[in-house]
């Protein structure tokens, strides 16, 4: 069936606005909007009907009446008047069957979105449309009824039109993949709200002093409410790597909150040296996102007063969070100072290097973390161990291993829960004194 024929069938049964009629043929023709399309169809129908009517065809008169009743097309009405014919009364005709004339509200919706987004920095956005289920069902049924195969759905059209209006007015770009802001509009209730997508910044941190946990650590007694034990701070430690990075970020973005993710974590009493540990920090609902990252880096490092240091800050996206989580078994290089119960011989050093290089270590969950981790046996590979004697009973050991190896337990043996281990190999009780993470080797 031709466009004009199916259009006149549609209009015969239901009043349709230009948008809703044109939308049924959205895939025909390029570079024109549905309302122009609808208008053109109605015009073509009017001309054809006029011609028929002039040759006294009843059908022509009928179509003119239908168009006139539609209330959306004055031309048909005028022709009927000029021909001295009865002009049908507009009764049901004023409201579009599909959109209930809601396309008349798109300017209002776009303005609301502009007003609400004024206080946020963003370059890209997307318009999401919420429609009542009944409206969508009604259109689905309509399409099935008239065998519409070149149409688009109402949600798309609303989204595109409102998006265009916003972009024309504020110069921002519509981005379907990773918009910074999503405008949620409901043309039927008139509600407009914003979803501000988070800002992700990745980088590396070094921890230059011992005694700072990676993340905020709530007091075990009060769980954050504040009690005598924690000096009413709610925390076990006054600061953490997370907080030292988050505060300057929150200040410069005016975000609602910040969440910190890193590739694994070092112990509180271990330093994190070398290039540092990869992390990403997520700012929720940031008002500002046009940041000078060099400046942010400086303000974090100033705020941290040499306790931690960040570098290589970069804008990132959500996928990096997963990447970091998956990288926990990336190779790591550790440096541990060990104190022995008995004196070390020169041969001991060679024995250790030999027995701990290219070896698979079996570790049951360390006793010290059993209270928060399941009791499992983990297998971690050691690629290389280097040992240097510092004094008769002290040595330093460099370990290149799979991430997740518990290094302190590799030294002590953890009551036989880690096999092999330094104490057992040398039959000499060993104790880790200081531990540093030297490097984290990320594979891409
Ligand atoms: Zn409509
Ligand atoms: Zn407390």
Average pLDDT over residues 36-60: 86
143 Cα to the center of ligand 1, angstroms: 14
Other C-beta atoms within 10 Å of 236: how many? Answer: 16
Identify which ligand lies nearest to the alpha carbon of 223: 2
Give the pLDDT confidence score for residue 290 in this predicted structure: 95
Q: Which of 16-25, 38-47, 319-328, 362-371 has the lowest mean pLDDT?
A: 319-328
Q: How confident is the model at residue 89 (pLDDT cuts 50, 70, 90)?
A: low
pTM of the model: 0.82
Are 122 and 288 in contact, with CB atoms under 8 Å apart? no
Q: How confident is the model at residue 444 (pLDDT cuts 50, 70, 90)?
A: low
Four-residue CA torsion sign, 355, 356, 359, 360: positive
Give the pLDDT confidence score for residue 95 in this predicted structure: 86
Query: Is pLDDT at 91 greater than 70 in this prediction?
Result: no
Query: Is pLDDT at 63 greater than 90 in this prediction?
Result: no
Peptide bond into 175 cis (omega under 30): no
∠ CA 171-173-179, rounded to 5°: 135
Identify which ligand lies nearest to the alpha carbon of 104: 1
Cα separation, 194 vs 125, in Å, equals 10
238 Cα to the center of ligand 2, angstroms: 12
Give the pLDDT confidence score for residue 325 in this predicted structure: 82
228 Cα to the center of ligand 2, angstroms: 6
Q: Which of 71-75, 84-88, 162-166 has the lowest mean pLDDT?
A: 71-75
Cα separation, 318 vs 198, in Å, equals 9
Better pLDDT: 314 or 230: 314
Identify which ligand lies nearest to the alpha carbon of 218: 2
Average pLDDT over residues 265-284: 94
25 Cα to the center of ligand 1, angstroms: 14
From the candidates 267, 348, 414, 436, give the one annotated as an active-site residue.
267
Q: CB-based contacts of 364: which residues, under 8 Å, 6+ apart? A: 375, 376, 377, 414, 417, 418
235 Cα to the center of ligand 2, angstroms: 6
86 Cα to the center of ligand 2, angstroms: 85
**Integer distance in angstroms from the first to the last C-alpha of the chain?**
56
The two structure tokens encoding residue 371: 């209270």
Identify which ligand lies nearest to the alpha carbon of 236: 2
Q: How confident is the model at residue 116 (pLDDT cuts 50, 70, 90)?
A: very high
Query: Is pLDDT at 412 greater than 70 in this prediction?
Result: yes
Query: Is pLDDT at 31 greater than 80 in this prediction?
Result: yes
Query: Is pLDDT at 94 greater than 80 in this prediction?
Result: no
Per residue in 128-163, pLDDT (tens digit) is 999 999 999 999 999 999 999 899 999 999 999 999
Select from 270, 277, 300, 298 the least CA-distant residue to 209: 270
Are 44 and 58 in contact, with CB atoms under 8 Å apart? no
Cα separation, 237 vs 268, in Å, equals 10
Per residue in 380-389, pLDDT (tens digit) is 999 999 999 9
Average pLDDT over residues 63-90: 75
Q: How confident is the model at residue 92 (pLDDT cuts 50, 70, 90)?
A: very low
Give the pLDDT confidence score for residue 93 in this predicted structure: 53
Per residue in 218-257, pLDDT (tens digit) is 888 888 888 988 888 888 888 999 999 999 999 999 999 9
Give the pLDDT confidence score for residue 61 in this predicted structure: 80
Q: Which of 9-23, 281-295, 308-322, 323-337 has the lowest mean pLDDT?
A: 323-337
Give the pLDDT confidence score for residue 55 in this predicted structure: 84
The secondary structure of residue 151, as a DSSP letter, is -
Relative to beta strand 394-401, strand 308-316 is: unpaired
Give the pLDDT confidence score for residue 71 in this predicted structure: 57
% the chain with pLDDT above 70 = 97
Average pLDDT over residues 399-412: 94
Query: Is pLDDT at 329 greater than 80 in this prediction?
Result: no
23 Cα to the center of ligand 1, angstroms: 9
Better pLDDT: 284 or 91: 284
Residue 267 a catalytic site member: yes
Per residue in 168-183, pLDDT (tens digit) is 999 999 999 999 999 9
Are 169 and 243 in contact, with CB atoms under 8 Å apart? no
């Amino acid at each position: 069936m031709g466009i004009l024929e199916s259009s006149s069938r549609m209009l015969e049964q239901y009043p349709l606005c230009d948008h809703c009629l044109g939308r049924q043929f959205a895939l025909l023709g390029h570079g024109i909007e549905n309302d122009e399309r609808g208008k053109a169809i109605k015009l073509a129908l009017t001309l054809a009907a006029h011609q028929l009517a002039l040759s006294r065809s009843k059908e022509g008169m009928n179509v003119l009446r239908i168009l006139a009743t539609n209330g959306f097309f004055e031309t048909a009405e005028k022709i009927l008047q000029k021909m001295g014919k009865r002009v049908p009364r507009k009764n049901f005709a004023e409201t579009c069957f599909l959109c209930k004339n809601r396309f008349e509200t798109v300017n209002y919706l776009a303005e609301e979105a502009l007003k609400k987004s004024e206080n946020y920095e963003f370059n890209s956005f997307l318009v999401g449309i919420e429609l009542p289920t009944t409206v969508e069902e009604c259109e689905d049924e309509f399409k099935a009824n008239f065998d519409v195969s070149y149409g688009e759905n109402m949600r798309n059209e609303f989204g595109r039109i409102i998006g265009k209006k916003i972009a024309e007015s504020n110069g921002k770009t519509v981005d379907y993949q990773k918009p910074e802001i999503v405008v949620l509009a409901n043309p039927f209730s008139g509600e407009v709200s914003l979803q501000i997508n988070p800002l992700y910044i990745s980088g590396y941190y070094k921890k230059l002093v011992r005694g700072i946990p990676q993340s905020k650590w709530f007091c075990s007694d009060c769980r954050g409410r504040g009690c005598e034990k924690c000096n009413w701070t709610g925390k076990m430690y006054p600061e953490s790597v997370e907080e030292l990075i988050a505060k300057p970020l929150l200040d410069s973005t005016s975000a609602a909150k910040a969440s910190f993710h890193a590739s694994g974590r070092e112990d509180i009493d271990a330093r994190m040296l070398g290039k540092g540990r990869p992390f990403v920090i997520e700012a929720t609902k940031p008002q500002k996102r046009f940041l000078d990252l060099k400046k942010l880096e400086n303000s974090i490092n100033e705020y941290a007063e040499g306790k931690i240091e960040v570098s290589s800050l970069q804008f990132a996206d959500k996928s990096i969070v997963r990447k970091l989580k998956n990288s926990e078994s990336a190779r790591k290089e550790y440096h541990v100072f060990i104190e022995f119960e008995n004196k070390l011989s020169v041969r001991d050093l060679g024995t250790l290097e030999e027995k701990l290089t290219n070896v698979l270590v079996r570790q049951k969950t360390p006793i010290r973390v059993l209270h928060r981790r399941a009791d499992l046996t983990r297998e971690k590979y050691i690629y290389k161990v280097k040992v240097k004697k510092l004094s008769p009973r002290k040595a330093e050991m460099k370990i290149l291993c799979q991430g997740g190896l518990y290094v302190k337990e590799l030294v002590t043996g953890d009551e036989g829960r880690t096999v092999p281990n330094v104490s057992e190999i040398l039959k000499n009780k060993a104790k880790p004194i200081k531990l540093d993470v030297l490097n984290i080797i990320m594979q891409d």
